[in-house]
Structure 1
Amino acid sequence: MHQLCIISRRADLYRQLIEKENLPELKITENLQDATLILADPPLMTKQLAHCSKLDWMQSTYAGIDALTQPGLRTDYRLTNIRGLFGQLISEYVLGYLISHQRHFARYQTQQQAAEWYQHHYSALSEKTMVILGTGTIGQHLAGAAKALGLRVIGVSRSGEPTTHVDQMFPIHRLHEALALADVLVSVLPATQQTNDLLNADSLRHCSNTLLFNVGRGNAICEPGLLKALDAGNIAHAYLDVFKQEPLPQDHPFWQHPAITVTPHIAAESFPEQVMTIFKTNYLRYVEGKPLQFQIDFERGY
């Protein structure tokens, strides 16, 4: 019998969904020390991981698992995450804000309140180039959605190998070349040692009047560097959904900056019903002794 402990802000719903599935050889326990399996929101497990003496496999309810790959944390178990669910939601977020910015929708809303009739110039998205940092499943989905709207899409990955919907690929060591081409820059990078402060004052100086979106992980942006890039005009506006510290402190300069839009990590939510589909598939593979889907390489951090 496999004992599962659920550590999540939506624990009650996950419990209902699991009990409804009636999975074989599975018992739910409230005691972490008895659990061989854990279904968890990663940030809630960081301080408890050392106490899970019987842990063999943890299924993350999030795509981002950087809370569990920090130096000093144990790695003697299998960790899997959620993939293939967030491309649509991330695309809606990025393209929604992009279209609103391009067509001045917020400005017209303000004008309406004052009964002001002023027209503002705009250009078609088909004249723009989007550079996507990270070309996994989310990046590929976004690339396809952007291509459907006529944008040219450039991808940046560790290897620079060609991938779906991307017109041109660059390896990460040629990042500066890619940034110089960006009208729109989107980071969907995971949090690793290699991505820490990747977007900083030095790298962002290669941009020119670029719209920046960070919907990956907060570590990718050097915050003082971004402020310098905004002041210099390298970045025209930054749409930020993830941050190094969450919640973002109330005295943080991002809140009041006129060229920064802050959202509270809502670009793509983990819906429990979808998470359960992945957990069920993985659990049945686990029982049968098959390799688990979406297993994390602790050395790479993803």
Structure 2
Amino acid sequence: MILSGPLAAPVADRLAELAPDLATRLAPAGPVPADDLAWADSWSGFELPENLAGSPVRWVHSMAAGVDAMVGALVHAPGPLVLTRTVGAMPARIGTYVLAHVLDDALRLGDYRAQQARGQWRQLPAEDVAGRTGVVLGTGAIGSGVAAALRGAGLRVVGASRSGAPRPAFDDVLTLDGLPEVLPACDVLVCALPLTDTTRGLVGEALLGRLGGALVVNVGRGACVDPGALRRALAAGRVRRAVLDVVETEPLPAGDWRWSHPAVTLTPHISGPTQPGDVAPAIARNRALLAAGVVPETAVDLRRGY
């Protein structure tokens, strides 16, 4: 296996313990040297090398959970090819991130920070989060991690997915078409969707226009949220605050309205950082499953994009 990117060395060290019979080589970011490509049958990293096409590599493992860029490059690859992704502890980390912002909003901590800067001492009305309704778009591993964190704080959590199939982490699950009935009572809307042709711009005018002053958090993919529709929903009071850990262009260009909007919180894609301790066990497990002829649970359907 060729390992690329900033985690390559520590992942190789962990793999030496977990899968000592797996030979690895480290390759710099960018094109993989020709002799390494001729040697390898698998690759792992964050950004797919452009010269991987036509190589003997038949298994690609993403060190990240998001794989939309890789899917676009691999969907038309000749011959059988398996793409798997890293999940690890990211659902719990992202759930903690979302819950932190929900509590910050509910307890009005931002308002108190502003009061402190003005030298003002005044108690503000606030509501408990228990009993509120959260809607999570996406019921996979990440969405389930968010739901678990929110339910732990007492929220009722409704999931929305393509199939509407029940999931243990949620109080209820609807199809995406069933969202209109729950959005008016939604206090917190969380986007944890992968980016596909169906989800691109899904959080747009029609969806945001049905909210009644909700907190919106995006930890999925930036392009799932229509920035123009979000700006209009904030102006209309349909969205009271937006927390964006992902945006459609990263980093967000200078001068974009979201940098300075008082009701927008931006973080630079840090809600679920990947650790070597997530990647190496995932590679070792997926390798063992593939060797046994079993499709790993983190395998990506290249046609669907997730």
Normalised to the residue count of structure 2, the TM-score between the two structures is: 0.90
Q: Does 1:65 align with 2:83?
A: no
Mapping 1:91-240, distance limit 5 Å: 91-240=95-244
For 2:8, which of 8, 11, 15 is the aligned residue? 11
Report the CA distance between 1:47 and its aligned residue.
3.0
**For 1:217 and 1:29, how far apart are their aligned partners in 2?**
29
CA RMSD of aligned residues (A): 1.9
Unmatched runs of 5 consecutive residues or more in structure 2: 28-32
**For 1:118 and 1:244, how far apart are their aligned partners in 2?**
38
**For 2:171 and 2:74, how far apart are their aligned partners in 1?**
40
For 1:37, which of 36, 42, 46 is the aligned residue? 42
The count of aligned residue pairs is: 296
**For 1:84 and 1:25, how far apart are their aligned partners in 2?**
20
Closer, same or farther: CA 247–85 of 1 in aligned 2, 3 Å: same
Once the two structures are superposed, residues 201-230 of structure 1 have per-residue CA deviations (whole angstroms, 9 ceiling, x without a partner) of 222100011100000111210111111111
Aligned twin of 2:57? 55
Q: Is the 8 Å Cα contact of residues 170 and 178 (structure 1) preserved in structure 2? A: no
Once the two structures are superposed, residues 47-87 of structure 1 have per-residue CA deviations (whole angstroms, 9 ceiling, x without a partner) of 3432x511110111011000112278534411001225222
**For 2:166 and 2:296, how far apart are their aligned partners in 1?**
26
Report the CA distance between 1:11 and its aligned residue.
1.9
**For 1:21 and 1:72, how far apart are their aligned partners in 2?**
28
Q: Percent identity?
A: 31
Closer, same or farther: CA 109–20 of 1 in aligned 2, 3 Å: same
User: Which amino acid is 2:45 matched to?
Assistant: A
2:241 is paired with a residue of what secondary structure? strand
Closer, same or farther: CA 300–118 of 1 in aligned 2, 3 Å: same
Return the structure number with greater relative CO, CA threshold 8 A, min gap 6: 2
For 1:269, which of 268, 273, 288 is the aligned residue? 273
Once the two structures are superposed, residues 227-284 of structure 1 have per-residue CA deviations (whole angstroms, 9 ceiling, x without a partner) of 1111111111100001111111122211111111110000001111121111111122
Q: Does 1:246 align with 2:250?
A: yes
Aligned twin of 2:30? none
**For 1:257 and 1:46, how far apart are their aligned partners in 2?**
37
2:50 is paired with a residue of what secondary structure? coil
Once the two structures are superposed, residues 141-190 of structure 1 have per-residue CA deviations (whole angstroms, 9 ceiling, x without a partner) of 32222222211111111111222142232111122223222110001011
Q: Is the 8 Å Cα contact of residues 84 and 137 (structure 1) preserved in structure 2? A: no
User: Which amino acid is 2:11 matched to?
Assistant: Y
**For 1:177 and 1:292, how far apart are their aligned partners in 2?**
35
Unmatched runs of 5 consecutive residues or more in structure 1: none
